[in-house]
Structure 1
Amino acid sequence: MTYALPPLNALRAFEAAARHLSFKLAAHELHVTPAAVGQQVKALEGRLGVRLFERLHKQLILTAAGQAYLPGISAGFRHIAEATSRLKPAGAVLLQLGVHGGFDLRHLALAEFRGAHADIGLRVLQPAGLHELVEGKVDLLIARGLGHHPGYRCDRIDEGSGLGDWLIAPEGTADCPEVVSFREWLRAVASRTSLAGRPRLIGVIGR
């Protein structure tokens, strides 16, 4: 059987925007820009030949067609997520960490992290930058910069002010258990290196 389906990214944009009634909040969840969400929804409306939202000043409202469409789309994504979850080993969660090219991974003691968190499958992409984070290729990022990125939680991981290294995660997923575990690991590494009398690797994070 061949299914007549709109593009998956357009459906994801519609479903997230409909739940939040906000392109901005949907963009945070999907790790894209609000403009990208709006374009995806507009393309979906053009494909379907119906308006799914009323776009008022600073307000997004589902049309009757959008209200009718949303439950089936949400259920479809829920079924896909449940089917995917059943394929994974029990308790296994994949965390994809991006790291800028100039960062020394030895500072993170990743082998120890993996040993202490058998339930988290950690993968590292280096080099990686904000583009990979925005595109969803990584779940969180160690980036070099000033740490000012609206829609993202930014924790400094070195001493000083100004340009530095930051752990960056989308606000929508910054409190996911696997992300919290990695953030706490950085905190533990900072404490351990400080107590040992060596230069601190991590400064602001967790304060």
Structure 2
Amino acid sequence: MTYILPPLNALRAFEAAARHLSFKLAAHELHVTPAAVGQQVKSLEARLGVRLFDRLHKQLVLTEAGQAYLPQISDGFRRIASATAKLKPVGAALLQLGVHGNFDLRRLELAEFRSCHEEIGLRVLQPAGLAELTEGKIDVLIARGLGHHPGYRCDRVGDGSGLGDWLIAPAGTADCPEVASFRDWLRGLPAENSLAPHRRRVVGIVRS
């Protein structure tokens, strides 16, 4: 049996936008621009031949067709995620980490992280900055500077103020399992390796 399906990216864009009732929040979750989400939804509507949203002034509202479509699409994604989690294949979850150019990657003990988290496929892009994060080229970023970016969760490892190294992730995906696992890994690094001086395994997280 051949399944006739719309493009997966368009379905993901619709499902995220419908949950948030916002192209902007969906874009943060999917690591793309709001314009890209809007274009994906528009292409899906054209393919299906129905309007899924009413685009009112500064407001996104599901049409009757969109309301009927959303539960089925969300359930399908949940089933796929559940089936994948049960398999637990090596590298099933991909985490794309960006790091600023002056950071010494040896401090992260990435070989040990990969060994302890075989279910996560870790890729590293260096140098990387906020541009790569907002464009969806990476999932999480270690950046140098001040950790204040609207729409993003910014965690500073260790105490202190002013400039420092920050772990930055879109608010919509900041607590997904692979990002949370990496955040916990940073917290447990030895003091000489951690992003800020502190005692071993007593690293505080300051959330902006």
- Bucket of the pairwise TM-score, normalised by the shorter protein: 0.7 to 0.9
1:206 aligns with 2:200: no
Cα offset for 1:26? Answer: 1.6
AA in 1 matched with 2:74: S
Please say if residues 186 and 202 of structure 1, whose CA atoms lie closer than 8 Å, have aligned partners that are also in contact: no
Distance of aligned partners of 1:8 and 1:122 in 2 relative to their CA distance in 1, 3 Å threshold: closer
List aligned pairs for 1:26-105, cutoff 5 A: 26-89=26-89, 94-105=94-105
Query: Helix, strand or coil: the match of 2:205?
Result: coil
Cα offset for 1:178? Answer: 4.0
AA in 2 matched with 1:42: K
Task: Give the match for residue 161 of structure 1.
Answer: 162
Structure that is richer in helix per residue? 1
The worse-fitting range, judged by mean Cα deviation, of 178-187 and 54-63 is: 178-187
Distance in structure 1 (CA, Å) of the matches to 2:107 and 2:154: 19
Please say if residues 31 and 139 of structure 2, whose CA atoms lie closer than 8 Å, have aligned partners that are also in contact: no
Percent identity over the alignment is 77
The count of residues paired between Structure 1 and Structure 2 equals 200
Please say if residues 187 and 202 of structure 1, whose CA atoms lie closer than 8 Å, have aligned partners that are also in contact: no
Query: Helix, strand or coil: the match of 1:143?
Result: strand
AA in 2 matched with 1:34: P
Cα offset for 1:63? Answer: 0.8
- RMSD (Å) for aligned C-alpha atoms: 3.3
Encode CA deviations 1:80-126: one digit per residue, 9 max, x unaligned.
22333333249x75543222232101222334545666665544333
Task: Give the match for residue 197 of structure 1.
Answer: none
Gaps of 5+ in 2: 198-202
Please say if residues 155 and 205 of structure 1, whose CA atoms lie closer than 8 Å, have aligned partners that are also in contact: no
Distance in structure 2 (CA, Å) of the matches to 1:96 and 1:166: 16
Cα offset for 1:69? Answer: 1.7
Distance in structure 2 (CA, Å) of the matches to 1:3 and 1:118: 32
TM-score with structure 2 setting the length: 0.75
Query: Helix, strand or coil: the match of 1:168?
Result: strand
Encode CA deviations 1:67-86: one digit per residue, 9 max, x unaligned.
22222222322232233333
